[in-house]
Amino acid sequence: MIGHLPTKFTKKMEKLLDSEYDNFMASYAAPRVYGLRINALKLAIDQWKELSPIAARVRPIPWAQDGLYYAEEDRPGKHPHYYAGLYYIQEPSAMAPVELLDVKPGHRVLDLCAAPGGKSTQIAAKLGGKGVLVANDNAQERTKALTKNIERAGVRNAVILNEVPAALAPVFTEWFDRILIDAPCSGEGMFRKDESMIADWEKHSVEHCAVMQRDILRHAARMLAPGGLLVYSTCTFSPEEDEWQIAALLAERDDFEVVPIPQRYGWAEGRADLAAAAPEAAELAEGRLSSIEGTVRLWPHRIEGEGHYAAVLRRREAKMLERESARDDQREEQVLASAEAPDRQQSQRKKEKLLRASDKRGSKAVNGRGSSVGGRKEAVADPDPIGLWKQFSSQFVEGTEVWEGHPIAYGSRVYLQPAGMPSLNGLKVVRAGWYVGEADRGKFVPSQPLAMGLSKEEAVRSISFRSDDAQTVRYLRGETLFAEDDDIVRHEDTPAKGYVLVCTDGYPLGWAKYAGGMIKNELPAGWRWI
């Protein structure tokens, strides 16, 4: 492995690490560690341990509340609990940034570079269903995995967008309490986990990444409410992408300050000495430059995890300082005018195209993915999808009257959108909220994300198989199952026939339709066991 590392990289690291260099290089020969994070939206670690065959072999990840190391041979991605969204498989160091973000239920949180959604699902668990998660990624293809991961985790209060930060900033100015920038980076910290990152590193230069990061940070700063926190993280070691980015932001924004991260778990402090070489460092007072020591570097030779960098920044309560306003606003407008115009025009053109396509089909949501629910035929436009949802939910779902969020319709699809969102007009919206289903020929068809976001108790009809029962995998493979009326858990006055929530160990996997002893599988093809 060490032999594959580019010389340019090893030379740079030698200079950076000095006496620690040999230990660092030795870490590439050490086996990598594996992590999963229990989804607190569904259950607590202790509850999962009672159900899981691998519970005896996991160990806590010190810096992550619900994080656990597991043994590679246990392959938790091949267990029904994974399909039920009981955990997310995530590299241990990658769990650190959200722990630093201090998310509380009720916050408005932006995950600006969110795909495939590891940190979004972690944020959602910390919100506990209260407040708003806006998960965004500028890569359309990657928002598919993001959406599926958020939906599998049973998140009810997320809006998923596919935008560039410049398009979001005017819509969400000073709107968020918490912002995470898990920035696209040169990925030097991931060389051990994923060797393909080495080829990428040689292709995408550190300088190119640094320019992108600067742009992302600048727009993110506009979206943070005074008093709010922003966490900036990368999985790379290059100072240009780490400490330099923080130096540049501090130089540009007097109202931002570093919140020092306590040195624990073998984490190392950020390198103010390296920040001093940033082009903007000369504009920084000594105290602000040295505050960059309060950021952290996670080195693979010091911890059980891959390489990472993280900084916590607070926007002070006071409004932006006078000095900044005139000159910087002018400059920012110029940057926006040049960067934003093509993006927004393109976004508007794309949206219009999607809406035209949607009108033609008369049924599809603005996400433009054109996927039908449950592999069925396309839905037929219905004049009142929200009315049909209300009717459906009053019959099939318990307790919706206390749910947060309000129904909105895009074509025939219905979403529950978190309260208080600004208008999303003009933005590329992948999910306008929790996608609960769609109207089709006067009926409401519940969605897979609705199933995943419910608890067993909320469905008026359910059936649960143990995770080691062959029926569970058969359901996940899309097969028809057989049962008796008495196997369907329901209220006395509810007939056995109809939609039933299929669960494993009590946690939802998807819908089926029960009639006369047959459980007809409604699991969409893309959600099946592979």
Ligand X SMILES: C[S@@+](CC[C@H](N)C(=O)[O-])C[C@H]1O[C@@H](n2cnc3c(N)ncnc32)[C@H](O)[C@@H]1O
Between 119 and 156, name the residue whose CB sits nearer to ligand X: 119
Size of the site for ligand X (CB under 6 A): 19
Region of residue 436 (left: phi > 0; alpha: psi -120 to 50; beta: else): alpha
Is 119 among the residues that bind ligand X (CB under 6 A)?
yes
Cα 332 to chain centroid, rounded = 28
Is 115 among the residues that bind ligand X (CB under 6 A)?
yes
Is 164 among the residues that bind ligand X (CB under 6 A)?
yes
> What is the CA angle 321-165-452, rounded to 5?
120
Contact window for ligand X (CB under 6 A) among 45-53, 137-145, 326-334, 364-372: 137-145
Extract the tokens encoding 463.
Answer: 């059936």
Is 184 among the residues that bind ligand X (CB under 6 A)?
yes
Is 142 among the residues that bind ligand X (CB under 6 A)?
yes
Q: Name 160's bridge partners.
A: 135, 431
Is 307 among the residues that bind ligand X (CB under 6 A)?
no
Candidates 17, 25, 40, 212: give the one binding ligand X (CB under 6 A): 212
339-368 residues near ligand X, rule: CB under 6 A: none
Extract the tokens encoding 222.
Answer: 């506009």
| Residue 115 among known ligand-binding residues | yes
Extract the tokens encoding 25.
Answer: 């290089």
Candidates 76, 85, 117, 300: give the one binding ligand X (CB under 6 A): 117
Nearest to 490 by CA among 446, 451, 457, 528: 457
Q: Provide the 8-state DSSP code for 459.
A: B
| Residue 199 among known ligand-binding residues | no
Q: Do residues 252 and 218 lie in contact, with contact meaning Cβ atoms separated by under 8 Å? A: yes
Smallest distance from the beta carbon of 145 to ligand X, in angstroms? 9
Smallest distance from the beta carbon of 331 to ligand X, in angstroms? 19
Extract the tokens encoding 428.
Answer: 């590329």
- Please state, in angstroms and as integers, the Cα–Cα distance from residue 145 to each residue in 23, 87, 92, 118, 238, following that order: 36, 15, 20, 10, 28
Q: Name 136's bridge partners.
A: 161
Candidates 36, 216, 366, 459: give the one binding ligand X (CB under 6 A): 216
First to last CA, the chain: 30
Is 114 among the residues that bind ligand X (CB under 6 A)?
yes
Which residue has tokens 């959200």?
98
> Any idea how long the chain is?
530
Is 137 among the residues that bind ligand X (CB under 6 A)?
yes
Smallest distance from the beta carbon of 167 to ligand X, in angstroms? 10
The contact pattern for ligand X, residues 58-87, with x = CB under 6 A and - = no contact, is ------------------------------
| Residue 118 among known ligand-binding residues | yes
Q: Do residues 191 and 198 lie in contact, with contact meaning Cβ atoms separated by under 8 Å? A: yes
235 annotated active-site: yes
Smallest distance from the beta carbon of 92 to ligand X, in angstroms? 13
Candidates 182, 240, 241, 243: give the one binding ligand X (CB under 6 A): 182
CA dihedral sign of residues 438, 444, 449, 454 = positive
| Residue 116 among known ligand-binding residues | yes
Active site residues: 235
Residues that bind ligand X (CB under 6 A): 94, 112-119, 137-139, 142, 164-165, 182, 184, 212, 216
Annotated binding site for S-adenosyl-L-methionine: 113-119, 137, 182
Annotated binding site: 113-119, 137, 182
